[in-house]
Amino acid sequence: MATILDDRSVNLELVTIYEISKILGSSLDLSKTLREVLNVLSAHLETKRVLLSLMQDSGELQLVSAIGLSYEEFQSGRYRVGEGITGKIFQTETPIVVRDLAQEPLFLARTSPRQSQDGEVISFVGVPIKAAREMLGVLCVFRDGQSPSRSVDHEVRLLTMVANLIGQTVRLYRSVAAERQQLQEEKRQLSRQLQGKYKLDNVIGISKAMQEVFAQVHQSAPSRSTMLLRGESGTGKEVIARAIHYLSPRKDGPFIKVNCAALSETLLESELFGHEKGAFTGAQGERKGRFELAHGGTLFLDEIGEISPAFQAKLLRVLQEREFERVGGSRSIKVDVRLVTATNRDLEKAVAKGEFRADLYYRINVVSIFIPPLRERREDIPYLVEHFLEKFRVENQRAMVAMSPQAMKVMMNCYWPGNVRELENCVERTATMMRGDLITEVHFSCQQNKCLTKVLHEPGQQQPVVVVPLERISAPYGAIFAEWDGQGQATGAAPPTSERERLIWAMEQCGWVQAKAARALNISPRQMGYALQKFNIEVKKF
């Protein structure tokens, strides 16, 4: 039978549904969320008693939230399927309306009396809570004395809509909780399997490729050999360099890092070798260089492929003779330093082109470890996401933040041109910018998050991930964006939105090192400096 609703009732429905839908998306604390929903219902329906029961793993319906009950009444709210009115609603999957509970034999009076203290009639409306045809629980409302200003039909309709919203939310919470539990269980199993084997503190990697990397790290760390870490930007070369240091006998000594691409040749020289007083204008006192500071420990030279030919010669001498002079000084200084270097350049090509000295290449390439790009070890993604979420929870005291399984699928299917660094930024940015606690796929609006990664194929579809060769893309920063057009063709670059965003994106991918970002964009460092100025982009300092 169709119900005609007056304006007031429609308005009440809309306001109630609106307020409840806002609450339902806002937190991952289910009991808090449900309590708030019942509060809104109780206020809007002007009733003192609202009860919500959910089916438990034990096969019993149990009250999980209620307004207007004492502790004892709340505790007694348990029903088998078919038992009492609540059990009946669950069993028949249909609403039940009782105008006078005192006359209703099904009513068990476990949580509420049959009559009010003043001897007034108590009426009842209960509706099933379902989601995707699965019965989840029962929502009911008790009313003392006077009947509501609205019709019973209207009340059933409103409660059914609210029950549907609750059902969807409960289902989502349960799948998130199950996913989390499964992930934690897998993590536990994995750490049992990996006990004492290939584990590195704070470095996540369960994929075969990363396990291979960890094995190489464990094997090479104890030696004094110079090491070369290779891999795309953001793959974790620095974290691996640190792991090597902390697994070596030098772990109690210093770990000193220098980014060779971030400094001009003269600055790099005085930074690495130090300078004597008066060595150049502004050198008011003597200063130790990073080589000296790293004595007894490890010196990590990042972006080694970027140093000039003249500086390559100077570095080669230090590596051969194990001694050097400070800028402006003549005294030879000997240090005990283990050198770990890193690059994302094709050094062999650079040697072949005469851009990198072959003798230096052989000196630094004693033991080399390749860290694969993230897109080639997608199994690591859920673990990395969880690792970064946990970091976010602790740093921001937001213990409930989590990611929905669907959102995780999106993460798994991204191309991640900026590798783990981009994934980390994306997780942190999304968690910071969203209001509630649950990250869903809608929060990954690329524009909104300035996360320009493209999803290459729909989760679940077995389409290949396409890597477009650099030459095929005309836009200077296009090579990293590629889309599958479903016809077996790689369709060029997905356009990043604006010049400014491209610049910021490149800087973020390159850890805000200007020279690196310039290379990524295929422009000169001078052009990069000009562009940053032109678009008023403030360079972050770390």
List the binding residues for ATP: 231-238, 294-303
Nearest Cα neighbor of 509 from 303, 233, 96, 307 is 233
Chain positions contacting ligand ATP, by CB under 6 A: 203-205, 231, 233-239, 302, 342, 344, 384, 387, 420-421, 424, 510-511
CA dihedral 356, 358, 364, 369 (to 10 degrees): 80
Q: Please report how close the Cβ of residue 369 comes to ligand ATP at its closest, in angstroms.
A: 11
Min dist CB 394 to ligand ATP, Å, is 15
Nearest distance, CB of residue 282 and ligand ATP, angstroms: 29
The amino acid occupying position 42 is S
**First and final C-alpha spacing in the chain:** 68
Closer residue to ligand ATP, CB minimum distance, 155 or 238: 238
Whole-number Å distance between alpha carbons of 37 and 45:
12
Q: Which residue is nearest to ligand ATP (CB)?
A: 236
Minimum distance, C-beta of residue 275 to ligand ATP, in the bound complex (Å): 26
Nearer to ligand ATP, 234 or 297 (CB): 234
64 CB contacts (<8 Å, ≥6 apart)? 31, 34, 52, 53, 54, 137
Farthest CA pair distance, the chain: 106
370: β partners: 230
Minimal distance, residue 534 CB to ligand ATP, in Å: 24
> CA 233, CA 28: separation in Å to the nearest integer?
35
| Beta carbon of residue 229, minimum distance to ligand ATP (angstroms, whole number) | 8
CB 451 to ligand ATP: min, Å: 15
Nearer to ligand ATP, 49 or 387 (CB): 387
Q: Residue 125 or 506: which CB sits closer to ligand ATP?
A: 506
66 vs 263, beta carbon nearer ligand ATP = 263
Neighbours of 509 (CB within 10 A): 24
Residue list for the binding site for a divalent metal cation = 446, 451
* Binding-site positions: 231-238, 294-303, 446, 451
Categorise residue 282: left if φ over 0, alpha if ψ from -120 to 50, beta otherwise: left
Measured from the CB atom, is 239 or 431 closer to ligand ATP? Answer: 239
Burial class (CB in 10 A: 0-12, 13-18, 19+), 447: exposed
CA distances to 149, 238, 344, 367, 403 from 385, rounded to whole Å, are 51, 19, 24, 30, 9
Query: CB burial class (10 A; 0-12, 13-18, 19+) of residue 517?
Result: buried
Output 235 or 430, the one with its CB closest to ligand ATP.
235
